Amino acid sequence: MKSLVRASMIFIISSIVFIGIVHGQSISDTCGSDAVTFKFKKGIYKGCIYTGQWMNCYLYGQGTMTYTNGEVYQGQWINSKREGFGILKYPDGGTYEGQWYKNYQEGQGILKWVEGNYQGQFHEGKMNGYGTCTWASGDVYYGQWKNGKPDGHGIYKLKNGDKYEGEWKKGMKHGKGIYRSFNGNTYDEEWIDGKRSEREKR
């Protein structure tokens, strides 16, 4: 059989079927650690383009994946999953830079978007643990997070000088907290779903 200068081959990697455009290489030549470029034909990465290293027919090492939704990931891969350090660029200009584990943002990372940025801990792709969020308005929150929202103990500082320090639940003031306004007024009270409790108001 004549050696093809440009061949379209179908591979199976970790039960993912894709098409790779390979110049004059057989399957055995390509299934190694050298950088190659593939366009996925089927599976969860259908239509995506990967350029980078792989080993034993898995995406493995450094590589760049361009997704069909416009996102671009550049970083480390293990067993065809994003794992280690990597940078994800979003179509709207936002970015995530930090640690990954089995395709999820996991560990320390920095997330930036148009309205602000977050620096801190992630778990299963969401802000979880301790972190600091700064909004374009100038407001800042630093404290505990759960499932992408302030949850636990945290401090919220407004641009105008007001500050709340206390407990949060699902992104709202909830529990014991102290609110200090820029003019010197202090409210040490109980909060429920972001509002002062009726008992405290009396």
What's the pLDDT band for 56 if we cut at 50, 70, 90? confident
Mean pLDDT calculated for residue range 103-112:
98
Domains (range + CATH), the chain: 1-84 (no CATH), 115-202 (2.20.110.10)
DSSP β-ladder status, 104-113 and 95-101: antiparallel
pLDDT of residue 36: 85
Compute the Cα dihedral for 89, 90, 93, 99 and give only its sign: negative
Higher pLDDT, 119 or 187: 119
**Mean pLDDT taken over the chain:** 85
pLDDT digits (tens, 9 = 90+) for 34-52: 778 989 998 889 999 999 9
pLDDT at residue 170 greater than cutoff 70: yes
What's the pLDDT band for 184 if we cut at 50, 70, 90? confident
* Cα separations in angstroms, 117 against 126, 146, 160, 169, 200: 14, 16, 19, 21, 34
Mean pLDDT calculated for residue range 169-175:
96
pLDDT at residue 23 greater than cutoff 70: no
Q: What is the CA radius of gyration of the chain?
A: 24
